[in-house]
């Protein structure tokens, strides 16, 4: 038997399929030298004892104590790294004003790579401490600062997908913050893709480049079609904002005479590896199209309460088996925690289904369909997001990377109260989803490497 590089004993929770909780009670989790889960063994398995002992002798055994549980690492499917200094403020105006008044001036500062390094190091430390083991990032238009983000993620061990933002339309983007022209926007994106690939050139890169037109309103047709060609040539991930608000939806429909999703598809930007942020205003045909192309949606419920003018039709998207996960959308969303993301997704879904206007009779108040459950919310934050990205994380399946959180319900600042007699393990899981916070995250691993805790 080869020496184990990492093995753990304890109880884990995961939702490998939407809506299905699996409790792996007192199992042994074996991680190979590449950081992949190579065995998940119940206590009565014939190899359990020998493999546990081998790990102990190799000094590689972690034994969870009472009140501690393993969860898969969390996947943030939409976050703006440069907006970290703005998180928790500047939410007093609509999206189109917020961009011009606060966000573009802030993002323009990342021309200074020193500033970028300082902010991004702090951001990645904080996201890891909040349990985000995978993040799909918008950076800024600047190639060097965006590369710095990719380097910092690699150094600190966070699985990351990073995009140099493209925004070249002088009608919509201020002179102090935009790509000089479409040709440069596309060639800079190509340079960025190649540089990220050179940075992490192994067979299983931890950090990946992403083609990132900010959203249709900020890009010229020439830039959009150039980026579509890059998506075809490089086969890398694509991200953008889609049908987020009344304003954004109307802008695209006036310009192209068709929906945001259909327009993106026309430019070759809707692929199996595309993530569309928000997509609150997509219709049935858009959903069919997104599903057919295998693209995914990053649902950002907290941000939507501020900027969207509507709630994403999550139940309908899930019923159609679209790829969906959760995004914090920092700083349109003010929380870095995907546990909060789960809670906001639950609230948004319940609000949409029950309705809000007390002046209406109950049967006229809400949308049809069932609200999501805490199991579905957690799936969105883990396996759902991972499937949307087509990456081997999000659950404790053998062959997946070991991206995990050690949750300590007995941490000194814990809001998770576990009653020994009255709480089943299913209850404990629900309590974690509804109340876990940073204080409960004692340790974090990405691909078997300890990135938080000791
Ligand atoms: N649409 C275009 N840019 C942005 C952004 O930075 N945040 C959000 N929420 N929507 C956008
Ligand atoms: Fe966003």
**91: domain range?**
74-389
Same domain, 268 and 213: yes
**1: in domain:** no
Same domain, 44 and 134: no
Beta strand pairing call for 274-278 and 237-242:
parallel
Instruction: State which ligand 1 atom lies nearest to the alpha carbon of 218.
Output: 2
Burial of 420 (0-12, 13-18, 19+ CB in 10 A): exposed
**241: in domain:** yes
> What mean pLDDT do residues 435-442 have?
98
Asked if residue 241 has its Cβ within 6 Å of ligand 1, the reply is: yes
Ligand sitting nearest the alpha carbon of 249: 1
Which of 368, 389, 410 delimits the end of a domain? 389
Residue 394 scores a pLDDT above 50: yes
Looking at residue 414, which CATH number applies to its domain? 2.30.40.10
Among 244, 309, 330, say which to mutate for ligand 1: greatest number of ligand atoms within 8 Å of CB.
244
Report how far residue 348's alpha carbon sits from residue 314's, in angstroms, rounded to the nearest whole number: 9
* pLDDT band, very low/low/confident/very high, at 368 (cuts 50, 70, 90): confident
**50: in domain:** yes
If you take atom 8 of ligand 1, which residue's CA is the nearest one?
A: 332
Residue 3 scores a pLDDT above 70: no
Which of 389, 405, 434 delimits the end of a domain? 389
> What mean pLDDT do residues 291-308 have?
98
Same domain, 301 and 168: yes
Asked if residue 267 has its Cβ within 6 Å of ligand 1, the reply is: no
Q: Which helix (H) or strand (E) holds 31?
A: strand 20-31
Q: Can you count the helices (H) and strands (E) in the chain?
A: 17, 16
Report how far residue 137's alpha carbon sits from residue 46's, in angstroms, rounded to the nearest whole number: 44
Report how far residue 356's alpha carbon sits from residue 351's, in angstroms, rounded to the nearest whole number: 6
Q: What is the pLDDT of residue 420?
A: 83
Asked if residue 106 has its Cβ within 6 Å of ligand 1, the reply is: no
Is the backbone of residue 247 left (phi > 0), alpha (psi -120 to 50) or beta?
alpha
Q: Mind listing the pLDDT tens digit for each residue in 196-242?
A: 999 988 899 999 999 999 999 999 999 999 999 999 999 999 999 99
**274: in domain:** yes
Report how far residue 340's alpha carbon sits from residue 42's, in angstroms, rounded to the nearest whole number: 32
Same domain, 100 and 168: yes
Which of helix, strand or coil describes residue 186? Answer: helix
**25: in domain:** yes
Which of 344, 371, 389 delimits the end of a domain? 389
Same domain, 105 and 47: no
Same domain, 197 and 261: yes
Q: What is the pLDDT of residue 1?
A: 44
Q: Which residue has the tokens 């070759």?
A: 268
Q: Mind listing the pLDDT tens digit for each residue in 118-162?
A: 999 999 999 999 999 999 999 999 999 999 999 999 999 999 999
**118: in domain:** yes
Mean pLDDT of all residues in the chain?
Answer: 97
Same domain, 293 and 351: yes
Ligand sitting nearest the alpha carbon of 275: 2
Looking at residue 193, which CATH number applies to its domain? 3.20.20.140
**272: in domain:** yes
What percentage of residues in the chain have a pLDDT greater than 90? 96
Instruction: Determine the distance separating the centroid of ligand 2 and the alpha carbon of 298, expressed in angstroms.
Output: 9
Same domain, 379 and 412: no
If you take atom 9 of ligand 1, which residue's CA is the nearest one?
A: 332
Same domain, 68 and 130: no
Q: What is the pLDDT of residue 4?
A: 62
Residue 12 scores a pLDDT above 60: yes
Same domain, 274 and 419: no
Beta-ladder partners of 44: none
Q: What is the pLDDT of residue 260?
A: 98
Q: Mind listing the pLDDT tens digit for each residue in 61-99?
A: 999 999 999 999 999 999 999 999 999 999 999 999 999
> What mean pLDDT do residues 404-410 have?
98
Ligand sitting nearest the alpha carbon of 165: 1
Residue 449 scores a pLDDT above 90: yes
Burial of 257 (0-12, 13-18, 19+ CB in 10 A): exposed
What is the pTM assigned to this prediction? Answer: 0.98
**26: in domain:** yes
> What mean pLDDT do residues 388-417 have?
97
Instruction: Determine the distance separating the centroid of ligand 2 and the alpha carbon of 258, expressed in angstroms.
Output: 22
Lowest mean pLDDT among 62-66, 345-349, 353-357: 353-357
Same domain, 105 and 249: yes
Number of domains the chain contains: 2
Residue 318 scores a pLDDT above 60: yes
Residue 267 scores a pLDDT above 80: yes
What tokens appear for 249 in the block?
A: 């939806």
Same domain, 67 and 110: no
């Amino acid at each position: 038997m080869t020496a184990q590089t990492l093995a753990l004993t304890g109880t884990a929770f995961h939702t490998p399929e939407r809506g299905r909780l699996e409790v792996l009670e007192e199992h042994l989790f074996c991680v190979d030298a590449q950081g992949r889960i190579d065995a998940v063994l119940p206590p009565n398995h014939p190899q359990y004892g020998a493999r546990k002992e081998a790990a102990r002798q190799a000094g590689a055994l972690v034994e969870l104590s009472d009140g501690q549980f393993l969860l898969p690492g969390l996947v943030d499917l939409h976050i703006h790294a440069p907006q970290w200094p703005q998180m928790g403020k500047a939410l007093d105006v609509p999206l189109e004003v917020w961009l011009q008044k606060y966000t573009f001036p802030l993002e323009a500062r990342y021309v200074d790579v020193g500033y970028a390094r300082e902010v991004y190091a702090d951001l990645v430390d904080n996201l890891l401490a909040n349990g985000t083991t995978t993040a799909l990032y918008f950076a800024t238009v600047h190639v060097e600062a965006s590369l710095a983000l990719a380097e910092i993620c690699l150094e600190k061990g966070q699985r990351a997908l990073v995009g140099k933002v493209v925004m070249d339309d002088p009608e919509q983007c201020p002179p102090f913050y935009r790509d000089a022209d479409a040709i440069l926007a596309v060639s800079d994106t190509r340079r960025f893709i190649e540089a990220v690939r050179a940075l992490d050139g192994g067979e299983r890169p931890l950090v990946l480049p992403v083609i990132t037109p900010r959203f249709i309103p900020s890009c010229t047709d020439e830039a959009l079609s150039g980026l579509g060609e890059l998506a075809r040539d490089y086969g890398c991930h694509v991200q953008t904002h889609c049908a987020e608000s009344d304003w954004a939806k109307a802008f695209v429909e006036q310009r192209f005479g068709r929906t945001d999703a259909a327009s993106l598809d026309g430019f070759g930007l809707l692929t199996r590896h595309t993530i569309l942020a928000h997509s609150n205003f997509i219709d049935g045909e858009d959903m069919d199209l997104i599903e057919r192309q295998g693209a995914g949606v990053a649902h950002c419920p907290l941000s939507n309460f501020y900027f969207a003018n509507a709630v994403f039709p999550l139940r309908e998207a899930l019923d159609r088996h679209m790829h969906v996960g959760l995004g914090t959308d920092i700083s349109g969303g003010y929380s870095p925690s995907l546990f909060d993301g789960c809670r906001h997704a639950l609230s948004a879904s319940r609000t949409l289904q029950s309705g809000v206007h007390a002046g209406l009779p109950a049967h006229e108040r809400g949308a049809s369909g069932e609200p999501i459950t805490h199991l579905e919310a957690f799936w969105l934050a883990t396996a759902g997001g991972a499937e949307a990205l087509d990456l081997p994380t999000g659950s404790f399946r053998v062959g997946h990377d070991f991206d995990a959180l050690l949750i300590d319900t007995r941490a000194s600042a814990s809001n998770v109260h576990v009653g020994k007699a009255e709480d089943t393990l299913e209850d404990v899981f629900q309590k974690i989803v509804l109340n876990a916070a940073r204080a409960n995250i004692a340790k974090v691993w990405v691909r078997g490497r300890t990135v938080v805790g000791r």
